[in-house]
Amino acid sequence: MAKTPIALIIDDPAPRVFVYHEHAGKETVQDGRPIPDNVPNSFLFRFCDVVEKYGIRGKFSVVPMAGGRGRIDEGFSGFPYSEIQEWVDTVKTRLSPYFSFCPEILTHHGYIDLSTMQMQGERENEWSFRQTSKELTPYIAFGLQLLKNVGIDATGVTSPWDFGEKNEDEYAKAIAYAMDEVWGRKESWYFCRSVYRSNSEAKPWMGYEDATHKCVAIPGTISDNIWQSMDTNDTSEEYISKIADNYLTADGKSGKILEVLKGGGWPILTTQWQSLFSNGNETGIRILGTVAQRVQEHLSDQVQWMCHEELMREALKTL
C-alpha cells in the first residue's frame, strides 16, 4: 500500500531580516526579552542540518522584499550583500532537494505600490482583499520574478497572513497566471490561511482551473505548536519532549500526526521561521528534530515526506 504523504510548511523565512520583528507590533516576547531584529545565517545552516538528517520535505517560503527593507536581488538595508548571497546560495544548494519554494508576497508588511516601488502603510493582506486578479497577477508575478532573479525556482505562493483569503477565487486565478507569466508553468500550488489552515480533515482542493491552468490549494492540517518556544527561556530536554508530544509522543502512540492519519488525512505540519528561531534560543529547531526523529522511528512504514510540488501532483491525481 502507498504511504501517506507527510509535509512541513515553513512560513516567513528571509535572508538576515527577521520578518517577524518587522511586523510583530511589539518589542518583546511574553517574558519580556527583546525580539531580535535579525537572524544569523548560522541558524539557516542548523535548520539545514536537521532537514538533511531526517529527510524532511515540504515548502519553504522566502519573503522577497522582507519587511520592505529592500529586494532580495539588490540587498536589504543593514546587511552586506555577501550575507544575503550566502543565505540564498545555502537555500538553493541544501534545501532544494527537500523543499518547494515560494514567495510569501512581497514584504509580509506594508503593500508595495508597484508604480513607485514604495511600501505603503496598509498591510498587504488588507490591500489584497479589494483587488481582482487583474491587480493581483502583477503583484504575485513580481514576487516570483524577484526569486527568479536570484535563481530560486518557486513553484507556488504563500499568503502573508490571510492575503487573498476574502477573494480567494481572484487570488488563485492570479497565482495561476503569474506562474505562467514568469515560469511558463500551467500548474501551481498555494498556501493561504483559512478556516482549513489547521483543520485535521482538510484536503487539497482546486483553487482555480481553466482549459490550460490548474492552481491547487494545499492546506496545513496541524497547527504550529512550536510557536510557544518564542515566549520562554526554557530550553531543557523535558520542555522539548513535551512540545514534541503534541505531534507524536516518544512511544509513538499518540499525538496530532496519528490523529490526522487515523482520520484519513495527510499530516501537513505548519510552522514559522520565528517559531524555529525561538527568539534566538533555537529551541524550535530541536523540537522539529525530535518530532522528525519520532516520525522516522515509529511511522516510516506509513508515511513519506513530500515537498509541495509532489503534494500538488498527488492531489491532481484525484482533483
Query: What is the spatial distance between Cα 159 and Cα 12, in angstroms, rounded to a whole number?
Result: 10
CA atoms within 13 A on the CB side of 155: 19
Q: Which is nearer to Zn ion, 108 or 256 (CB)?
A: 108
Q: Which is nearer to Zn ion, 103 or 160 (CB)?
A: 160
Select from 4-12, 51-59, 217-225, 249-257 the region that touches Zn ion (CB under 5 A): 4-12
Among positions 38-57, residues that touch Zn ion (CB under 5 A) are none
Closest distance of CB 212 from Zn ion, Å = 30
Q: Which is nearer to Zn ion, 152 or 248 (CB)?
A: 152
Q: How many CB atoms lie within 10 A of CB 230?
A: 24
- The full DSSP string for 26-71 is SSB-TTSPBPPSB--HHHHHHHHHHHHHHT--EEEEE-TTGGGSEE
Among positions 152-211, residues that touch Zn ion (CB under 5 A) are 160
Q: Which is nearer to Zn ion, 91 or 303 (CB)?
A: 91
Look at residue 170 and give its three-state secondary structure: helix
Q: How many CB atoms lie within 10 A of CB 139?
A: 20
Closest distance of CB 297 from Zn ion, Å = 31
Select from 8-16, 24-32, 110-118, 278-286 the region that touches Zn ion (CB under 5 A): 8-16
Select from 12-20, 244-252, 260-268, 303-311 the region that touches Zn ion (CB under 5 A): 12-20
Closest distance of CB 58 from Zn ion, Å = 15
Closest distance of CB 87 from Zn ion, Å = 18
Q: Give, in degrees to the nearest 5, the angle at Cα 183 between 177 and 189.
A: 60
Q: Is 219 exposed, middle or buried (0-12, 13-18, 19+ CB in 10 A)?
A: buried
**124 contacts Zn ion (rule: CB under 5 A):** no
Strand partners, 302: none
* Nearest-10 Cα torsion for 301, 305, 309, 311: 50
**11 contacts Zn ion (rule: CB under 5 A):** yes
Closest distance of CB 102 from Zn ion, Å = 11
Q: Which is nearer to Zn ion, 12 or 124 (CB)?
A: 12
Distances (CA, A) of 33 to 28, 155, 229, 271, 279: 5, 37, 13, 21, 8
Q: Which is nearer to Zn ion, 160 or 220 (CB)?
A: 160
Q: Which is nearer to Zn ion, 59 or 298 (CB)?
A: 59
Element spanning 271, H or E: strand 268-272
**12 contacts Zn ion (rule: CB under 5 A):** yes
# of chain residues touching Zn ion (CB under 5 A): 3
Q: Which is nearer to Zn ion, 12 or 282 (CB)?
A: 12
Closest distance of CB 177 from Zn ion, Å = 23
Nearest residue to the partner Zn ion, using Cβ: 11
Closest distance of CB 160 from Zn ion, Å = 5
- The full DSSP string for 110-124 is EEEETTTTEEEEEEH
Q: Footprint of Zn ion on this chain (CB under 5 A)?
A: 11-12, 160
